[in-house]
Amino acid sequence: MGPEYVQHNPQAPDGPEAFVAFVAGFGERFPALSLDVRRVIAEGDLVVLHSLLATSPEDRAAVDIFRVEDGKIVEHWDVVQPVPETAANGNGMV
């Protein structure tokens, strides 16, 4: 991570140390946590991960967008949505 880190998730503060603490706290709240990255897209200074985030008992589809500067993460956005049991199509979310 870069020395400056801008967070756009409204539940997490800015700064590299705050990010580490937020992720550690998330792991403590959800000990069965797993992240299955399904797609990685990179263009210019942006990297996008499309993942299945499993927190027992509910799975979530997640998209994380990172902005990279000099090889270090300096900014982050995310969108997380529960995966429903049924859908109007058979395509899946992840």
CATH number (domain holding residue 15): 3.10.450.50
Within a domain: 28: yes
pLDDT tens sequence across 22-70: 889 988 988 888 999 999 999 999 999 999 999 877 889 999 999 999 9
pTM of the model: 0.89
* Residue 72 confidence (pLDDT): 96
* Residue 85 confidence (pLDDT): 87
If one counts the domains in the chain, the total is: 1
Q: Which are the contacts of 20, defined by CB distance < 8 A and separation ≥ 6?
A: none
Within a domain: 35: yes
Within a domain: 52: yes
* Residue 27 confidence (pLDDT): 85
Within a domain: 92: no
Residues 21, 10 contacting (CB under 8 angstroms): no
Within a domain: 72: yes
* Residue 78 confidence (pLDDT): 96
Within a domain: 25: yes
Question: Which residue range(s) make up the domain with 44?
Answer: 6-82
| 15 to 2, 19, 21, 46, 84: CA distances (angstroms) | 9, 6, 10, 19, 33
Within a domain: 78: yes
